[in-house]
Amino acid sequence: MSAPAQAHGWTMPNGRHKGELITRVPVSYLKWMICVGHSCEEQARAELERRGTVTPDLEVSGHAIDRASLLCRWAWHETSNDDEGLHAWLVRVSREAIEEGKPHKDDPNRRFWIGLRFQFEFDGAWPVLRTVLPAKKRKVKE
Q: What is the mean pLDDT of residues 24-29?
A: 87
**142 lies in a domain?**
no
**34 lies in a domain?**
yes
Query: Is residue 79 located within the same domain as residue 49?
Result: no
Query: Is residue 45 located within the same domain as residue 76?
Result: no
Rounded Cα–Cα distance for residues 96 and 30 (Å): 27
Angle (CA) 26-31-36 rounded to 5° is 130
**117 lies in a domain?**
yes
Query: Is residue 123 located within the same domain as residue 68?
Result: yes
Q: What is the pLDDT of residues 57-108, one digit of tens each?
A: 788 999 999 999 999 999 999 999 998 999 999 999 999 999 999 999 999 9
Residue 4, pLDDT above cutoff 50: no
Query: Is residue 66 located within the same domain as residue 130?
Result: yes
| Burial category of 19 from C-beta neighbours within 10 Å (exposed 0-12, middle 13-18, buried 19 and up) | exposed
Q: What is the DSSP letter of 135?
A: S
Query: Is residue 83 located within the same domain as residue 25?
Result: no
3-class DSSP state of 117 = strand
**100 lies in a domain?**
yes
Cβ-based neighbours of 124, under 8 Å, separated by 6 or more: 35
Torsion angles phi and psi, residue 84, rounded to 5:
-110, 115
Cβ-based neighbours of 19, under 8 Å, separated by 6 or more: 11, 12
Domain that holds residue 35: 1-55
Query: Is residue 125 located within the same domain as residue 95?
Result: yes
